[in-house]
Structures are given as C-alpha cells and as structure tokens.
Amino acid sequence: MTAYADHRLNVSAGLLSVGVALVLVLLKLWAFAATGALSLAATLADSALDLAMSAGGLLAILYAQRPADAEHAFGHSSAEDLTALAQAALVAASGAAIGVAAVRRLLAPEAPAIAAEGLGMAVLVVSMALTLGLVLWQRRVVARTGNRVVAADSLHYLGDLLPALGALIALGASAWGVTRVDAVVALGGALFMGVASWRVARGALDALMDRAAPREVIAGLEAIARTHPGVLGFHDLKTRMSGSRLFVNIHVELDGGQTLDEAHAIGASLRRAILRAYPRADVLVHKDPAGVSRHPEDPRGAA
C-alpha cells in the first residue's frame, strides 16, 4: 500500500471519528436534559472530550504527514504525541469533575430523581452501536496503516463502551427505584477516565523523551542485523518512536578489505531489510571495519 493510500485511510478514520463524536454529543445532551442522570452526564462529558480529541487527532494526522523540511529534518510526527498529551490532560480533568459530583451525590441525604429512563437507555443503545461501528473501522485502518493516533483513538472509543454500559445499567436500576446506582456508576467512570488518561500521557511522554522502541521491536532489529549477509557484527543500536514513526540508528561491522561500493551495497541492503519488516521506519546505517580499535577520544567509546 502506498503512503498516499495510507494517508487517505488515516484521514477517513479521523473524519468518521469526528462525525460519530458529534452525533453522540448531541444525542447524549438531549438525553441528559430529559433524564438528569449523572451517569449519563459522565458519558456525555466523555463524548464531548472524544469530539475535542478526535478533532485534534485529525489535525495531528494531517500535520504529521507533512514531509521533512529545513526546520524539521526528522518530519512532523511528534505532533501526534503532543496531541495525545493534551488529550490526556482533558480526560483527567473531566474525570476529576465527574468523580467529585458523584461523591457529592452519594453523600447527599436523598438521591435525586431520574426521569425518562427509557429515553436515556434508547440513546445509550444507539450510541454504543455507533461507537462499535467506528471502532471496527478504526481497527481495520490500523491493521493496514499502523497509525498511532488512529490506534489510540480506537482504544479510547472501545473503552467508552464500558461506562456507556454502566450508565445503561444505572438507568435500568433507576426505573426499578434504585437511584444510588447512578452515582456509583459515574464514580466508576471517573476512575476509568483517570486510568485511561495516565496511560495515554505515559505513552506520549515516552515518545517525547525519546524512549527506546518496545523490546520486541529491538529484538526484531537485532535479529535482522545478526543474520544479514556481509554483516560481521553490530553495535550502538539506538531507537526512538515519534508518533507512528520508528527511528533506527545502527553501526554495523563489515570486512575492512572490501571496496567502498561493496560496503555501501551491504549497508543499503540491510536498510531495505529493516524497512521491509518495519515499513514506517527511518533507518540510518553506519559502517565500521570489523575489529577496528576504538578511538580513546570518542566520548561514546564507539569505533
């Protein structure tokens, strides 16, 4: 699949995400006004954040695809991580507000009445169906493009199904006269949002702090270098993630008696092998003669 085709799929997922989030916000706003259910307010707040995050994610997808330029030699993919960090802060703030409201309602002498439970339940069923459809499309896009923003958005929407199911149960319980369940479900939703925001923030911070790629990726790179024809050894394998891109720097040890053309051919072949395994990688291969003495003035201790 070409980079252009990947980009079109990523944009389609972003546009669909924004459209679904907007529909869900309008539906839940209408239902909350009719029912007054705090558990429904929690899912409304989450959907409103989804709308903001999906819009930000779409902008990040569009911006991150811009090619490298004189001022951004490594591209613009860090926009995805900055967007994710902002999304995490919004989710955490919303979860805290919902949690405080839920605790106050639990401590109130009397639980407030909830009305029009049937309407609220119908809206939640529709919203869950729309969310599930969106997640299925997003997962298809991720399977073909590997875009990090779409993958994170998909996980977030998949997580939305749990509090929506909880709100559905709370409204059903209210219809039977058990109104305290609403606040308990809202409190659970707030805790879920707090955990989810921490996971998103941690992933974004890892990328922005140039943390190495996952261990399985490093192991895969090592296996490729170790078995590649002409490569006698390797060292100084360095990796980092930026959005959906993987950056790889590796020093390979080659026969020092061969020509520069031959050494270049081996390095270029290794780079192609890595790109076949990791198509969205940016690979830099440095070639050293095998057995060369390390220079004492090299601060890295490398050849």
Given its phi and psi angles, is residue 235 left (phi above 0), alpha (psi -120 to 50 degrees) or beta? beta
Residue 279 corresponds to which tokens in the numbers above?
Answer: 């198509």
Q: pTM higher than 0.85 for the full model?
A: no
Tell me: do 280 and 148 sit in the same domain. Answer: no
Most confident of 23-27, 30-34, 165-169, 289-293: 23-27
Tell me: do 69 and 167 sit in the same domain. Answer: yes
Tell me: do 179 and 233 sit in the same domain. Answer: no
In the prediction, which pLDDT does 3 show? Answer: 60
- Return the percent helix, strand and coil in the chain, to nearest 5: 70, 10, 20
How many CA within 13 A on the CB side of residue 149?
Answer: 36
Residue 200 corresponds to which tokens in the numbers above?
Answer: 């998103």
Tell me: do 227 and 271 sit in the same domain. Answer: yes
Residue span of the structural domain in which 42 resides: 3-208
Tokens 């805290």 belong to 96
How many CA within 13 A on the CB side of residue 250?
Answer: 27
pLDDT digits (tens, 9 = 90+) for 259-303: 999 999 999 999 999 999 988 788 999 999 987 776 677 665 444
Tell me: do 224 and 243 sit in the same domain. Answer: yes
Burial class (CB in 10 A: 0-12, 13-18, 19+), 257: exposed
In the prediction, which pLDDT does 144 show? Answer: 79
Domain count of the fold of the chain = 2
Question: What whole-number percentage of the chain has pLDDT above 70?
Answer: 69
Tell me: do 140 and 278 sit in the same domain. Answer: no
- CATH of residue 274: 3.30.70.1350
Residue 33 lies in a domain: yes
Residue 297 lies in a domain: no
Residue 245 lies in a domain: yes
Question: Which residue did the predictor score with more confidence, 172 or 18?
Answer: 18
Tell me: do 168 and 229 sit in the same domain. Answer: no
Last residue of a domain, one of 186, 208, 230: 208
In the prediction, which pLDDT does 302 show? Answer: 46
Tell me: do 35 and 154 sit in the same domain. Answer: yes
Tell me: do 200 and 228 sit in the same domain. Answer: no
Question: What is the helix (H) or strand (E) element at residue 234, kind and residue range?
Answer: strand 233-242
Residue 285 corresponds to which tokens in the numbers above?
Answer: 């291969």
Last residue of a domain, one of 145, 179, 208: 208
Residue 294 lies in a domain: no
Residue 152 lies in a domain: yes
pLDDT digits (tens, 9 = 90+) for 141-189: 888 776 767 776 776 676 666 666 666 776 666 666 555 666 676 677 7
Last residue of a domain, one of 193, 208, 223: 208
Tell me: do 229 and 198 sit in the same domain. Answer: no
Tell me: do 11 and 113 sit in the same domain. Answer: yes
Would you tell me the crossing angle of helices 148-175 and 78-107 to the nearest 10 degrees?
10
- DSSP characters for 65-127? TSPP-SS-TT-STHHHHHHHHHHHHHHHHHHHHHHHHHHHHHHSSSPPP---HHHHHHHHHHH
| Mean pLDDT estimate for the chain | 77
- CATH of residue 124: 1.20.1510.10
Tell me: do 204 and 232 sit in the same domain. Answer: no
Question: What is the C-alpha separation between 20 and 29, in angstroms, rounded?
Answer: 14
